[in-house]
Amino acid sequence: MQTNIVWTKHAESRQKEWERRLGITRGEVEDVLNKAEQVVPGDMNVRVAQVRKHGGILRVLFVEEKGKRKVITVYWTSKVEKYWKEK
């Protein structure tokens, strides 16, 4: 199921930086929102969609607003043990 996705300026900027560093495209980020391996709670009302990628985790922080997912920021981390929640 495709979700309506709204990008903040900050999220667009971070995605471009990660594309330069690791080749992470806007499409890949949107795929994480639509087909995350995990969605875990973040701070306040923020949720984090994440997938394992490039030997680490690609994390997309978002909030649900009026049936849309608003991307707050996106980043990749090698700290799998810290962020991955085993079932």
The domain spans of the chain are 4-83
Residues contacting residue 8 through CB under 8 Å, at least 6 positions apart: 70, 71, 72, 73
Read off the DSSP letter of residue 85: -
**Could you tell me the mean pLDDT of each successive run of 10 residues in the chain, 87 residues long?**
85 97 96 95 94 94 93 96 88
In angstroms, the CA 87 to CA 84 distance is 10
For residue 54, the model assigns a pLDDT of: 86
For residue 2, the model assigns a pLDDT of: 58
The CATH code of the domain at 4-83 is: 3.30.2310.20
For residue 86, the model assigns a pLDDT of: 82
